[in-house]
Amino acid sequence: MYPKINLPQVVHEAFDDEVVIVNLDTGNYYSLEGIGADIWRDIERGAGHQAIAESVAQHYDGERTDIDAAIDQLLAELQAEQIVTLVPAPPETGNDGSSSFVGTHAAREKKRFTVPVLNRFSDMQELLLLDPVHEVDATGWPRLKESTATPK
């Protein structure tokens, strides 16, 4: 299966070793650090579970069964939070769905594998839901809510 980011209601930004994700429909925001950020970058590139697992195994020192289980858990959490959906074919990303993380950092030393953690925050939920910018169409442009008032 291939995780596909739920656009346009999910926006994200990468900062060095962290990715911040906002679900504009729920008002929750999330953080993935370290290995979680690496996995997110592979999801963003359209990689499937197999390519993500190979990437993690190539760059992190851990048992493949532990890596597979951790990726399954993270994908399930992302899906439960409506951040991604799982699709049977690679999402439209402009590439073949393989992980571009594999091989791009081949010279670096393997780090110890740790289970990725999806940190969830709801402290700004009301503010994010009040922001009219989150009412956007598929191209990202704001759309006005239809008025329920009758014209005079």
- Hey, where are the domains in the chain? 2-134
Beta pairing, strands 28-33 & 119-121: antiparallel
Q: How is residue 85 written in tokens?
A: 């959906």
Instruction: Quickly state the pLDDT bin for 60 (edges 50, 70, 90).
Output: very high
Question: CB of 4 within 8 A of CB of 97?
Answer: no
Backbone Cα Rg of the chain: 18
What's this model's pTM, rounded to 2 decimal places?
A: 0.75
Q: Write the pLDDT tens digit of every residue in 100-125.
A: 444 444 456 899 999 999 999 988 87
